[in-house]
Every structure is written in structure tokens, then in C-alpha cells.
Amino acid sequence: MNNSVPRTAHQRTREVLLRNWDPKDVAKRLDVYGPSSVYRYETYIEPSVELLRSGASEDALMAFLIDRQAESMCFPGLERERLRRVARVLRQAAQLP
């Protein structure tokens, strides 16, 4: 029997952003950045969930991630094909119960 609590859209989105997007590798380098650095990513979760709930396309999700990279992280960020994969995973995660 599975006693696990279903993950919310917020939790699934957070996992995707940290595992699949994370352009600065913050989650992988907490020893360098510190646990509080993950907080910045937390501010991207709710807008991502809202986009997903609105039925945003992969291109719209990619544009959102590109904008976050450019305005908040001050570098060009990940290439478009990697961002397309992240957008697909986000959309898949949003379809789970």
C-alpha cells in the first residue's frame, strides 16, 4: 500500500525547476551558494504554476524561463533545446493529479 501524500502542483513545479532547469546549479552546489539561495527559485514557482494552469504552450514557458534567467541571473542561460525539454517536463508534471 502506498501511504505517500500526493505532491501538489507547487511541489512538482519546484522539483522540475530545481532538477531540470537550475541554470546556476544552485541545488547541486548548496555548499557554494548556501541553502538560502534556493529561495530565489521559490519566487518562480507560483508564476510557473499559473502559466501551466492557463494552458501555456512550451514556447510561452520557455519565454518565461528565458526572462527569469536574463533579469534575475544576469547571463544568457540555458540553450533553447534544453529549455524546451524543461517546458515539456513542466507541462507533464502539471497534468499529474
pLDDT category at 84 given cuts 50, 70, 90 is very high
Q: For the chain, give the percent of residues with pLDDT over 70.
A: 85
pLDDT at 27: 79
Q: Please name which of 55, 32, 41 lies closest in space to residue 10, comparing C-alpha atoms.
A: 41
Q: Please name which of 47, 53, 67, 59 lies closest in space to residue 87, comparing C-alpha atoms.
A: 59
Q: Which of the two residues, 77 and 39, has the higher pLDDT score?
A: 39
Average pLDDT over every residue of 2-12: 70
Question: Average per-residue pLDDT in the chain?
Answer: 83
Dihedrals phi, psi of 2, to nearest 5 degrees: -95, 115
53-70 pLDDT, tens per residue? 999 999 999 999 988 888
Residue entry with cell 522540475: 16
Domain ranges of the chain: 9-94
Is 69:40 a contact under the CB 8 Å cutoff? no
